[in-house]
Structure formats: structure tokens, C-alpha cells
């Protein structure tokens, strides 16, 4: 999602000094060392990697701090998607086109779009390299690269998507196939999967299951359908309050849940899905399907694997409270590419952006960050075409709800918030750097109750 700007000469900002070197006076914790010249032709005070939710949001916020001409966003894709809408696209409730806008239209005015792919990060020299080997230098780096889908780690995919009866709401190329498979369903097993990896929007694999069940009821096919959720996890949801309600729904709607079942192969020509039993290594089970929704394994972007900025698993290694890199203190991150121990959602990015905005502001003033991210994330669990459970929680998997009501109950109002209000807020609030999550609303709500 990006383009590029040129500066004939620049200062290459070396990494923050952690230990004084011989002949160099000890500097304060956040002070930059700018003594050496840099041969790179391109330099930005703030360089943002990724033009998704986190990247665009932070480029909007930083544009107001340092000036648009001093900010650049590196992003290769020409379209920007509001991916939370794909749950409803896969169920036929929304059109795919409604989730997409040209990347150019969401890049903040005056901010440079570097339309290329990042191939290497060199934080010790405060530079990154692009796909054409071009080097870009920075003073501050924000990493918001999202995560990577790995359909290929399931035998038989992605080529299996060329067959009918199979779809996935996690890809722009396969989300409409989910709706087609649902419409074409006649009788048999409708199977929904959850992989043995971190995922973005952990509730999404269930959402399409509930919507599919509702659709089959509405079309008179439910009696001939076996709804099956095969999940690699050991529980239905991480937060007990919401898990209890979901288990009630599952029981009432006669849905079968098999825990510790991980999809390892799809034989699309035979309409067979093969699952491994994670509790019994080596044991597999073959399921015949009439409809299969695949949630793929996911992982960090390739560029972060074995990168100096990443942990051993390849996720960006940042402080979970202030969102600053643990080693390179002019590097920051948010969103799905990080190792923050919370669910990877757009709502989490909104809350993280507000904290990161404050963190960077203080770092730029050579001050210690004070605002802390509590792990807030939100998962509107769509349970039907007019009902949603609004799950909101923190790092400790404890409810952190915005409204003074029991949000574990299915509500029509929350559905309209998910389907209509949140997309509007995303395009007009979050991406423009004005929406930092519901914390202010929550505070007002609870103050009103005192």
C-alpha cells in the first residue's frame, strides 16, 4: 500500500545508545545519536511499515505531529480492506465491494505512499530495504505489517478452493466462496475449523458457523445439516463470561464441538477434511463435508522472521504496555504483527493507537512514556443475522465492557453496531486518527452510573 519520496541527503540516525562507547559521552535513554552521515537517498522522520488498519491510523496521527512531508507509509497493495466485514460477506449479509477502498484514498493527505514491499529491517542503522533494494532511512519506525495467512500449510490447499463446497472468510479471494457453499448446501456436514496457531479475530471462525446455522434454519435445510465446529483449542472462548453464553447457544442449536481437532488436509475432490487429534499425536480422523469453512494457520510476515526486531517466534517484540520495542527505542509497533498477548482485532488496534500516540509524543520530547495499554480488545460475536454478543476484555481475559448492560446477552442493537456503525467509524474515525477505542465512552458511561 505505498509510494516513495526522495531527499538528496540525509542523516542516518543510529540506534539508541544503550551502553556508552569509548570516547562517547553517555546519553539519556531516549536520545538519538545522529553523528554519522548516511548515504541513503531517502529519509523520513517517521516511517510506517504497513498500510492496513494500524499503519494508516498511525500515519494519520503522526502527520499531525511532525508534518505530512515527514511521514511515509510502505505498502504494496492497491486496495485497503475493512476485513471485519468479511464475516457478513461470507454469510451473504454484505457485499465484498463494501469492504474495499483504494489504498490511495486512505493514505493521509500529504503523506508519501511508498508502493513497495519491505524485504529487510536494519534497526541498528535505522534503515529498511524495499523489494527493489532501495534503502529508506528513518528517525522513528512504526511496524504495522499485519500477519500472514498460510493456507499452504494445509495439504490440498490453496488449490482445493478451485472446487465447490469450500470457502474461507479470511481471504478476499475465498470469502465469496463461503457464501456460494452456504447457498449450495443440501444435506450433510457443515464443518468450521480453527487452526493451531494465533489468528486474527479469534471469534470469526465461530461467527460464520452461527450465521450458517441461522441461514439453514431460514431456508428449511437445518434438519438435514450437521453443524460441526472442529477447533484446535481446548475451550470455546477465552473469557469465561462469554464462553458460558456461547455454550448455551451451541447446545440450544444442536451444534457439535470437537476440541483439540486441527485441520491438516483437504481432499476437495472427495469433499473430505482430515483432522489431527492434538491430544493423541499421530491419530487422525476423516470427515465428509457438504460445506467446509477453513480458518487457515497464520503467522508473522516473512520479513519479520529471524529479524533483529522480532522475538523467537517472529512476532515484533514490543513492550506490552507502552508498545515500544524492547531493544530499539525508536521502533514501535501495533496490531497483528506484534507479540502483544491479546486478541488480534481492529478494536485492539484502535486502543493501541491511542496509547502509541502518547508514547511516541513523549519519546520525541525525550521523556518516559506514561500511558499504558491494558490489552483491551473487542470481538463482536455474530450469533445470527440480527444478534451479536459484544465481547470486550483485557490482557487478563477479564471483561472490560463499554456499556452498563450485560454484554454477554445476544442483542439486535449490537448487530447493527457491528454491521453499520463500526464500518463508518473505521473509515471516518479510526483511519483518520480520531478514534482510539471506547475508553472515553466507557469512562463517561460509568461516571454516569455513580
Question: pLDDT digits over 343-382, tens only?
Answer: 999 999 999 999 999 999 999 999 999 999 999 999 999 9
CB 262 within 8 A of CB 156: no
How does residue 448 score in pLDDT terms, banded at 50, 70 and 90?
very low
Average pLDDT on 404-417 reads: 96
CA distances from 239 to 75, 189, 193, 242 (A): 35, 28, 20, 6
CATH class of the domain whose range is 10-81+102-148+300-364: alpha beta
CB 290 within 8 A of CB 190: yes
10-81+102-148+300-364 and 149-299 have identical folds: yes
**Better pLDDT: 5 or 258:** 258
> For 149-299, CATH number?
3.50.50.60
- Return the C-alpha torsion angle 178, 179, 183, 186, nearest 10: 20
* pLDDT > 70 in the chain, percent: 89
- Supply the residues annotated as catalytic: 201, 379
13 has a pLDDT exceeding 50: no
CA distances from 184 to 169, 170, 173, 187, 274 (A): 17, 20, 18, 10, 22
326 has a pLDDT exceeding 50: yes
* pLDDT > 90 in the chain, percent: 87
Cα–Cα distance between 261 and 280 in angstroms, integer?
A: 10
pLDDT at 443: 62
Cα–Cα distance between 262 and 307 in angstroms, integer?
A: 29
Phi, psi dihedral angles at 191 (to 5 degrees)? -110, 135
Q: Where are the domains of the chain?
A: 10-81+102-148+300-364, 149-299, 377-449
Extract the C-alpha cell encoding 65. Answer: 505531529
Amino acid at each position: 500500500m505505498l509510494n516513495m519520496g526522495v531527499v538528496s541527503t540525509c542523516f542516518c540516525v543510529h540506534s539508541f545508545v544503550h551502553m556508552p562507547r569509548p570516547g562517547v559521552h553517555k546519553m539519556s535513554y531516549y536520545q538519538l545519536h545522529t553523528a554519522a552521515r548516511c548515504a541513503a537517498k531517502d529519509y523520513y522522520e517517521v516511517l510506517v511499515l504497513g498500510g492496513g488498519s494500524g499503519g494508516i491510523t498511525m500515519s494519520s496521527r503522526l502527520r499531525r505531529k511532525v508534518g505530512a512531508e515527514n511521514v511515509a507509509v510502505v505498502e504494496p497493495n492497491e486496495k485497503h480492506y475493512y476485513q471485519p466485514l468479511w464475516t457478513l460477506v461470507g454469510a451473504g449479509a454484505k457485499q465484498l465491494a463494501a469492504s474495499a477502498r483504494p489504498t490511495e484514498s486512505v493514505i493521509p493527505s500529504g503523506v508519501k505512499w511508498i508502493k513497495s514491499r519491505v524485504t529487510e529491517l536494519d534497526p541498528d542503522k535505522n534503515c529498511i530495504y524495499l523489494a527493489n533494494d532501495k534503502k529508506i532511512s528513518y528517525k522513528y519506525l512504526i511496524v504495522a505489517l499485519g500477519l500472514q495467512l498460510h493456507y499452504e500449510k494445509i495439504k490440498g490447499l490453496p488449490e482445493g478452493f478451485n472446487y465447490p463446497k469450500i470457502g474461507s472468510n479470511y481471504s478476499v479471494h475465498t470469502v465469496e466462496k463461503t457464501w456460494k457453499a452456504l447457498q449450495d448446501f443440501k444435506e450433510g456436514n457443515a464443518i468450521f475449523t480453527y487452526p493451531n496457531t494465533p489468528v486474527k479475530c479469534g471469534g470469526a471462525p465461530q461467527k460464520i458457523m452461527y450465521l450458517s446455522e441461522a441461514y439453514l434454519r431460514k431456508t428449511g435445510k437445518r434438519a438435514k445439516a450437521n453443524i460441526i465446529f472442529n477447533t484446535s483449542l481446548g475451550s470455546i472462548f477465552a473469557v469465561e463470561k462469554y464462553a458460558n453464553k456461547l455454550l448455551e447457544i451451541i447446545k440450544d442449536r444442536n451444534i457439535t464441538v470437537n476440541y483439540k481437532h486441527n485441520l491438516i488436509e483437504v481432499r476437495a475432490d472427495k469433499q473430505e477434511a482430515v483432522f489431527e487429534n492434538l491430544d493423541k499425536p499421530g491419530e487422525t480422523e476423516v470427515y465428509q463435508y457438504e460445506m467446509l469453512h477453513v480458518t487457515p494457520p497464520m503467522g508473522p510476515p516473512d520479513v519479520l522472521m529471524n529479524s533483529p526486531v522480532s522475538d523467537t517466534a517472529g512476532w515484533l517484540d514490543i513492550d506490552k504496555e507502552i508498545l515500544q520495542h524492547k531493544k530499539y527505542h525508536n521502533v514501535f509497533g501495533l496490531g497483528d504483527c506484534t507479540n502483544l498477548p491479546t486478541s488480534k482485532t481492529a478494536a485492539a488496534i484502535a486502543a493501541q493507537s491511542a496509547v502509541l500516540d502518547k508514547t511516541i509524543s513523549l519519546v520525541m520530547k525525550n521523556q518516559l512514556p506514561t500511558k499504558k495499554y491494558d490489552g483491551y480488545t473487542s470481538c463482536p460475536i455474530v450469533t445470527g443475522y440480527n444478534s451479536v454478543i459484544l465481547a470486550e476484555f483485557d490482557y487478563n481475559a477479564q471483561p472490560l465492557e463499554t456499556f452498563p448492560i450485560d454484554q454477554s446477552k445476544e442483542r439486535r442493537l449490537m448487530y447493527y453496531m457491528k454491521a453499520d456503525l463500526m464500518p463508518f467509524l473505521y473509515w471516518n474515525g479510526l483511519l483518520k486518527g480520531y478514534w482510539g477505542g471506547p475508553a472515553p465512552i466507557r469512562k463517561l458511561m460509568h461516571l454516569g452510573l455513580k
